Each structure stands twice: as C-alpha cells, then as structure tokens.
C-alpha cells in the first residue's frame, strides 16, 4: 500500500471514531434527558405518560383494612366490583366499538339487558362513550374476565371498591359503616374512597384507610395508587353476638319498647364481648339508620335506677357506716321537703341494710347516703368514673354529671335517680364489684395490624375486695331468696348474682317524671358464675308499649335466661 493510501485509510478510521463518539455523546445526553430530567422538547414526560396512560392499565383502588372479631372471623371486608362502559369514538389510546350489533349480542349474554336494549345504547352516535345503567355496574371479577375473553374492541371496565358487612345486623351502631366519598386526584381518574361515617369505622378511619403510596413500574408505562389499610381486631365474639341479636329481635318485636340494649363483658379484662341495641340498622343497606343514629353505649344518657344500689351499698360497707345485723325502718323517709318511698309504698317494717339491697329498698339506701355524707358520696361517684369520659375513642361520648344543685338529687343518686350516666360508665363501674374491687376499662379493641395483643387496663380500685365480695353475695340473695327482686333471673346449673333496676324517666316537657304504667327504664346487671365471676351481663329496656301483662323485669328475664345458658354451654 502506498503512503498516500495509508494516510487516507487512517483518516477514515479517525472519522468513524469521531462519528461514533459524537453519537455516543448525543445518546448519553438523550438518556440523561429521558431518565433524569424526564422531559423532551419542553414536555414533562411524567405528566405526558399520566395523561396518555393506556386505558387498559390498572388503577388499584383503596384497600381498606378488614375488621375481625376476637376469633379472627371477618366482620367488615372490602370487595371489588366493576362498572362497564363502551367507547364509541376512539382516540387517546382508546379503541372504539367496531361492530355495534355483534357487541350488543355478546354483552346481552353477560348483563341483565336484552340485545336490543344494549344496541339502543350503542347506537348513540353523538356520545363519545356510554354506560349501561345498573346492569353495567357491580359486575363480578368472573363476569368481567369472561367479557374480556370475548375481545370486544371499545369495551372497558373500571374497578370499584365497596364495603361489605358479613352480617346485616351485627352491633351495627358500634361497628358503624364506611361509604364512598369522592376524591379528586391530579394523577389518576376521579376515585371514590371509602370513608368511615360512624362507629368504629369512623373512629379508626385513619388506621383502616392507611397511607397513600405511589408505585411506578420500571418503564413508566403504569402508575398505580394503593391505600394500605391496617386490619382491626375487636373483642366482640361473633357467635355470642349473633345470638344476642336474635334475642333482642324477639323481645323488641314482641314488646315494642322505645329502646333496648344488651352488653356482655369479661369482668377480669374489661373486654366487651357483645354489644347490641334496638332500634338498629342494616349495615349493608343502611335501612333503619334514620330511626336512630345514636350509639346507646356511649351517647345515651339516662337515670340508671336501682342497679346503682350495688355501688352505694359497697361504698357504705367499705366505710363501715352500718352493722351487719342493724335494723332500719322501711316504707318512707324525708329528704328536705321530698318524701322518698319504697316501691311497695309501705315497706317491710324493720329490716337489715343487707336485706334492704335484696329487696331493693330506697329507704335503706337514703339512710346509707346520710351516713356516708354527700361530699364523700359525690367524691365516690367520681372514683367510680361518673361525670367523666371513659375515653372510648368513639364519637359523641357523653359524660353525664356528678355536680348536684340540691341535696335531694345528690341523695337520690344513691338509688339511681337525680343524675344521668351512660351504659359504658355503668359497665365500667360495675366491673369493680365483680372483679375484687378493681375497676377495669371497657375495651372493644383487641388490636390493630400486627399489634393485636390485648392489654387490660385497671383504672383504679374504688372499693375493697372484701366489700366487692360482700355485694356479690347480696346479689346472689337477690336471686335466690324468697324476698329477692331478681328471682326471675335464676338459671338452673348456673349461680347468678343480679340486681334489677326500675328508673323513672324525666318528663321531656317539664319538671318531674313521666307517670304512665310503663314509663320506666328497666334494667338488670348480673355476674356469673357468682362464686368466681367471669362475665357481666347488662340488659336495659325503655318504655315497652305492649307488655303482655308482664313486669319489665319479667320481660328482660325472658331473654336473659337463654343467653346465660348459651354462654355457659359455649364455654
């Protein structure tokens, strides 16, 4: 090869190397622009991809946490369904329906519409896209998959999450419900997010809804949104709750009271095992919610009646203000200018204070309050948790009050009149009687997410163990002795400690109380088995309108006995 040819060859090689270097630099710059700055020709590629996203790419909707009972059985779960629509004018990545007649024929095999009805919708030449009414909503995963296998151009689906409750009626006001709330997002189509409205669904909405996260796949073709909600575990027991709901249905329909409630508590831990009320509502359809929005457990404030006497008597026993065999005259007594009478008006002559509890004497309780002293008694009500929140975490929890404007109301509070409380306050205070004087916080939450180890909370010890045990014995007498007012609550094979209550109802139109034959708030608190209480069962009923010639205590006993038997066998 000549020197001239060699120089020419070297020049070509250098030229090729230069072109390759320039190309590499340009490609590197382009790679940097696409992957680091994510822009091209002044266009934000992230925004562009989001705007032109493949309509068939998936948008993962919110996954709300599941609510479980104490046995791990689901109570509230998320379900996914689909809505179908058809694109009639394609563009922006969307295919349009090609053969409208064929598409109508195929779709009519899968949704509740005839071929002609579907075709009528598809023949709308002015619309860009169309939907298929109720027939095109709530489509199952199986149906959606079957339609997609037909490969119909222009037919698309949007996933929708909905909240489903395993049982229509299941502690409805405590569980609450979640419903769709419209959310506008800049990076995805408008989505409806499930949001808790009342009850636990509302109180723990943040935990159930979780945190927003954005996930991008490597080639930036698809962007998805996931709400990772925590699961919640409750102390409610589904099997016990189901039976409680059945019994309340029976009694509520038969005797037609204004309200009823029923709660079962594990006294040593404060776990709320059942919580039911009437009126109630259907968790899935919301039918009945307009009748009563109130969660009676924490929002209902009422005068509890004679069930309060067990707390009064326990306090008096602890303070040593009466002797075991000391007699007191019954029938009537005076508080300032007010006469307080026993329920039989004439009393039983002179009886002991302990017998007075079993007979549910108002007069003996008034005498005990005198000896305790009003200031000491008011302080003791605070120790029992009245007049203050239980910190249940539920919305609109009422506190009642222990601030009395006259000595009459303060004294009458000893037998459950003249002051107001909530069921959860009563349940919490009553745990001290059944639990050796230790008052336990009433809890319905067993755990959240992986942290589901229940922790009992002892609030304080308002009475001694000796006083608590003594009151339980007196409550056994109330059931077993011929003079006891709770004889209807005897259950074969189970030793029951019980105390009934019959409270007057304040007149909503003025001073005083309602005076009708059934204008009372009937209740019963019980502990069983009485020799070592494990459970506390509380029933209440307000103003039955069809009593079938039965007393309030007899009406409640009809559902009390079978439930106690069921719990005893269930163990």
- pLDDT one-digit tens code per residue, 276-317: 999 999 999 999 999 999 999 999 999 999 999 999 999 999
- pLDDT on residue 224: 45
Residue 542 scores a pLDDT above 50: yes
- The arrangement of secondary structure in 82-161, i.e. its CATH architecture, is 2-Layer Sandwich (3.30)
Give tens-digit pLDDT for 260-273: 999 999 999 999 99
Are 82-161 and 238-570 in the same CATH fold?
no
How far is the CA of 299 from the CAs of 260, 388, 422, 479, in angstroms?
14, 13, 7, 31
The residues facing 155 across adjacent strands are 86
CA–CA separation, 526 and 310 (whole Å): 11
Query: pLDDT band for position 198 (50/70/90)?
Result: very high
pLDDT (average), residues 97-125:
96
Instruction: For residue range 486-523, list pLDDT tens digits in order.
Output: 999 999 999 999 999 999 998 888 778 998 889 999 99
pLDDT (tens digit, 9 = 90+) per residue, 327-350?
Answer: 999 999 999 999 999 999 999 999
Q: 22-26, 193-197, 457-461 — which one is most confidently predicted on average?
A: 457-461
CB atoms within 10 A of CB 180: 15
Catalytically active residues are 306
Handedness of CA 549, 550, 552, 555 (dihedral sign): negative
Neighbours of 337 (CB within 10 A): 6
The answer to whether residue 58 scores a pLDDT higher than 80 is: no
Higher pLDDT residue, 131 or 217?
Answer: 131
pLDDT of residue 61: 52
Q: Torsions phi, psi of 539, nearest 5?
A: -120, 145
Q: What is the mean pLDDT of residues 426-434?
A: 98
pLDDT for res 282 = 97
What is the average per-residue pLDDT within 448-469? 93
- Phi/psi for 67 (5° steps) reads -105, 125
Average pLDDT over residues 448-456: 86
Q: How many CB atoms lie within 10 A of CB 159?
A: 16
The residue that leads in pLDDT, 433 or 162, is 433
Is the pLDDT confidence value at 384 over 80? Answer: yes
Separation between Cα atoms, residue 517 and residue 412, nearest integer Å: 21
Q: Is the pLDDT of residue 354 over 80?
A: yes
- Is the pLDDT reported for residue 434 higher than 70? yes
Cβ-contact 160, 83 below 8 angstroms? yes
pLDDT recorded at residue 15:
47
Q: How far apart are the first and last CA of the chain?
A: 105
pLDDT at 192: 60
Does residue 462 contact residue 192 with C-beta atoms inside 8 Å? no
pLDDT at 106: 97
**Ramachandran assignment for 320, one of left (phi > 0), alpha (psi -120 to 50 degrees), beta (any other):** left
- 43's enclosing H/E stretch is strand 43-44
Mean residue pLDDT across the chain: 87
Output the pLDDT for position 57. Answer: 35
Q: What is the CATH number of domain 238-570?
A: 3.40.710.10
Instruction: Please give the helix or strand (H or E) that residue 469 lies within, else none.
Output: helix 465-480
If you average pLDDT over residues 234-256, what whole number do you get? 98
Residue 78, pLDDT > 80, answer yes
**The pLDDT of residue 183 is above 90:** no
The proportion of the chain whose per-residue pLDDT surpasses 90, expressed as a percent, equals 75
pLDDT number for residue 222: 43
157-161, 377-381, 441-445: lowest mean pLDDT where?
157-161
Using a pLDDT cut of 70, give the percent of the chain over it: 84
With 0-12 / 13-18 / 19 or more C-beta atoms within 10 angstroms meaning exposed / middle / buried, residue 313 is buried
Domain residue spans of the chain: 82-161, 238-570
- Model confidence at 538, pLDDT cuts 50, 70, 90, reads very high
pLDDT, residue 452, reads 72
């Amino acid at each position: 090869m000549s020197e001239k040819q060699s120089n020419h060859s070297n020049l070509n090689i250098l030229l090729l190397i230069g072109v390759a270097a320039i190309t590499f630099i340009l490609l590197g710059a382009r790679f940097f622009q696409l992957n680091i700055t994510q822009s091209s020709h002044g266009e934000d590629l992230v925004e562009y991809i989001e705007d032109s996203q493949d309509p068939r790419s998936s948008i993962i909707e919110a996954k709300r946490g599941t609510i479980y009972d104490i046995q791990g059985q689901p109570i509230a779960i998320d379900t996914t369904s689909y809505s179908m629509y058809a694109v009639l004018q394609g563009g922006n990545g969307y295919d349009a329906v090609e053969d409208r007649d064929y598409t109508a024929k195929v779709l009519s095999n899968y949704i509740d519409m005839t071929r002609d009805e579907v075709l009528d919708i598809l023949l709308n030449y002015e619309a860009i896209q169309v939907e298929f009414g109720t027939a095109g909503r709530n489509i199952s995963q199986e149906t959606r998959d079957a339609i997609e296998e037909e490969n119909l151009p222009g037919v698309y689906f949007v996933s929708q999450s909905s909240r489903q409750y395993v049982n229509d009626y299941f502690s409805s006001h405590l569980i609450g419900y979640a419903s769709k709330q419209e959310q506008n997002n800049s990076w995805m189509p408008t989505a409806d997010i499930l949001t808790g409205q009342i009850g636990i669904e509302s109180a723990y909405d943040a935990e159930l809804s979780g945190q927003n996260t954005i996930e991008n796949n490597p080639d930036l073709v698809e962007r998805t949104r996931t709400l990772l909600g925590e699961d919640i575990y409750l102390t409610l027991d589904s099997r016990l709750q189901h039976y409680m709901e059945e019994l309340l249905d029976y009694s509520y329909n038969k005797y037609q009271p204004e309200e009823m409630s029923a709660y079962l508590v594990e006294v040593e831990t404060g776990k709320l095992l059942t919580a039911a009320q009437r009126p109630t509502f259907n968790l899935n359809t919301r039918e009945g919610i307009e009748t009563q929005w109130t969660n009676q457990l924490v929002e209902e404030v009422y005068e509890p009646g004679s069930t309060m006497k067990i707390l009064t008597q326990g306090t008096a026993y602890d303070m040593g203000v009466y002797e075991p065999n000391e007699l007191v005259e019954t029938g009537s007594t005076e508080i300032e200018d007010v006469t307080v009478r026993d329920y039989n008006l004439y009393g039983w002559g002179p009886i002991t204070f302990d017998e007075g509890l079993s007979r549910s004497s108002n007069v003996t309780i008034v005498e005990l309050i005198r000896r305790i002293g009003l200031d000491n008694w008011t302080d003791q009500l605070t120790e029992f948790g009245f007049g203050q929140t239980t910190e249940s975490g539920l919305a609109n929890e009422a506190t009642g009050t222990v601030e009395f404007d006259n000595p009459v109301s303060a004294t009458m509070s000893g037998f459950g009149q003249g002051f107001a409380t909530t069921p959860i306050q009563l349940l919490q205070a009553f745990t001290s009687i059944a639990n050796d004087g230790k008052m336990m916080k009433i809890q319905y939450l067993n755990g959240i997410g992986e942290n589901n180890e229940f922790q009992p909370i002892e609030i304080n010890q308002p009475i001694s163990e000796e006083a608590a045990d003594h009151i339980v014995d007196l409550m056994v007498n109330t059931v077993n002795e011929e003079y006891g007012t709770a004889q209807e609550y005897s259950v074969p094979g189970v030793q029951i400690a019980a105390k009934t209550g019959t409270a007057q109802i304040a007149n909503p139109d003025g001073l005083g109380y309602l005076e009708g034959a059934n204008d009372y708030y009937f209740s019963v608190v019980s502990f069983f088995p009485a020799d070592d209480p494990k459970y506390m069962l509380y029933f209440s009923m307000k103003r039955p309108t069809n009593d079938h010639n039965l007393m309030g205590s007899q009406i409640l006993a009809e559902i009390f006995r079978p439930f106690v038997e069921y719990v005893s066998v269930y163990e």
